[in-house]
């Protein structure tokens, strides 16, 4: 059995294999509510052959959405819309061939109120449907952006509660795992990095202080969920900027998360500063996942230009990660898991409607 197709258990959740569809924003919600686009999108990815499907960054408050078109999970209306999509997808695909469903909960902080990427991605002014953003400190992401409002104690309390309530809603509508978004320059990452956190209170300054609010959010989410539901944390291993967040801080953060009951760390990088200099190449973030895994013993998910099945298998064989995140590659090839199984000599479960597509030379592929 190829390592990529060996099972993996996170807390009480058994995954059929180690392929993870990483979260990918679709910028296609209506007032935070899932639409028919999400039904098509998630229905397609649910037939990818992956073991775990993590849906896109979902705002825990309206102002926490990256864009006015992002998913939210902060009201009965947004909960009902997303519940309907997930239920309809699960009703059509054989349970034995469907990935487990997880949701990524986040808050965009100073990077909120942004336009859709295909419309430039810049900050949307309040006069044009945007909103006042919030952050650890009143430091904008870009010089041209309106400064965010620095969060006060009441704001921090409100956001802890919002993360916990979104987690309860997620469990209620059938999500089997929750990922907390503390990467890519969004709010929790903004607290971690000295480039975006200039606070002088208990939430700024030292590494211990900068980790404090993200750890409090983790504790609130963990306490809000049934014990059997794993909590994953998405981190940026480095800002790729001198003087910014780095792998040493990431390891310290991961160790603190482990002590509080985290089940896995999903290791990405960058996103906090326009000054980042990223050495993009195949597997460029894998060493970050390896460093976290070796230092903490926590299961890690490696992601970032891992596009080929043999490349993914090699990462696992070298012990650099425990699972492989596939993102844009799964949009380009929605049957990535099927094709990986064919190449590596494994098998997947396909819907009966698709059994006739099995190539004649690959009679082992569908089980």
- Residues classed as catalytic: 186
Q: Which residue has the tokens 């009902």?
A: 80
Please classify residue 21 by burial: count the beta carbons closer than 10 Å to its beta carbon, then call 0-12 exposed, 13-18 middle and 19+ buried: buried
d(CA 26, CA 53): 15
Rounded to the nearest 10°, the torsion over CA 286, 288, 291, 293 is: -70
d(CA 346, CA 250): 35
* Residue 20: how many other CB atoms lie within 10 Å: 30
How does strand 149-150 pair with strand 134-135? Answer: parallel
| Longest distance between any two alpha carbons in the chain, whole Å | 66
Q: Which residues pair with 331 in a beta bridge?
A: none
DSSP state of 180: E
Contact 61, 21 (CB under 8 A): no
* Residue 250: how many other CB atoms lie within 10 Å: 25
* Residue 355: how many other CB atoms lie within 10 Å: 10
d(CA 367, CA 355): 9
* Residue 60: how many other CB atoms lie within 10 Å: 28
């Amino acid at each position: 059995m190829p390592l990529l197709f060996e099972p993996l258990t996170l807390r009480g959740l058994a995954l059929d294999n180690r392929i993870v569809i990483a979260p990918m924003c679709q910028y296609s919600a209506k007032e935070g509510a899932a639409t028919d686009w999400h039904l098509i999108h998630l229905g397609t990815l649910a037939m990818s052959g992956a073991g775990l499907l993590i849906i896109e960054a979902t705002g825990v408050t309206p102002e926490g959405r990256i864009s006015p078109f992002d998913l939210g999970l902060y009201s009965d209306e947004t909960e009902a819309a997303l519940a309907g999509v997930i239920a309809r997808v699960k009703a059509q695909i054989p349970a034995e061939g469907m990935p487990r469903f997880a949701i990524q909960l986040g808050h965009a902080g100073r990077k909120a109120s942004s336009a859709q990427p295909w419309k430039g991605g810049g900050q949307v002014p309040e006069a044009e449907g945007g909103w006042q953003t919030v952050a650890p400190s009143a430091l904008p992401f870009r010089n041209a952006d309106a400064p965010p409002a620095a969060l006060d104690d009441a704001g921090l309390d409100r956001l802890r509660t919002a993360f916990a309530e979104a987690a309860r809603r997620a469990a209620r509508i059938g999500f089997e795992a929750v990922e907390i978004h503390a990467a890519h320059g969004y709010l929790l990452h903004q607290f971690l990095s000295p480039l975006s956190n200039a606070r002088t209170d208990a939430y700024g300054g030292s590494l211990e202080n900068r980790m404090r609010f993200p750890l409090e959010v983790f504790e609130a989410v963990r306490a809000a969920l049934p014990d059997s539901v794993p909590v994953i944390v998405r981190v940026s291993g480095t800002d790729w900027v001198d003087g910014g967040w780095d792998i040493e801080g990431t390891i310290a953060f991961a160790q603190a998360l482990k002590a509080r009951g985290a089940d896995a760390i999903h290791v990405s990088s960058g996103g906090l500063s326009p000054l980042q200099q990223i050495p993009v190449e195949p597997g460029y973030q894998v060493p970050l996942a390896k460093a976290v895994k070796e230092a903490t013993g926590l299961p890690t998910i490696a992601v970032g230009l891992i596009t080929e099945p043999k490349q993914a298998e090699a990462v696992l064989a070298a012990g650099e990660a425990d699972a492989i995140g596939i993102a844009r590659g799964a949009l380009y090839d929605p049957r990535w898991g099927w094709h990986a199984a064919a190449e590596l000599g494994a098998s997947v479960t396909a819907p009966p409607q698709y059994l006739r597509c099995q190539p004649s030379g690959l009679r082992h592929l569908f089980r």
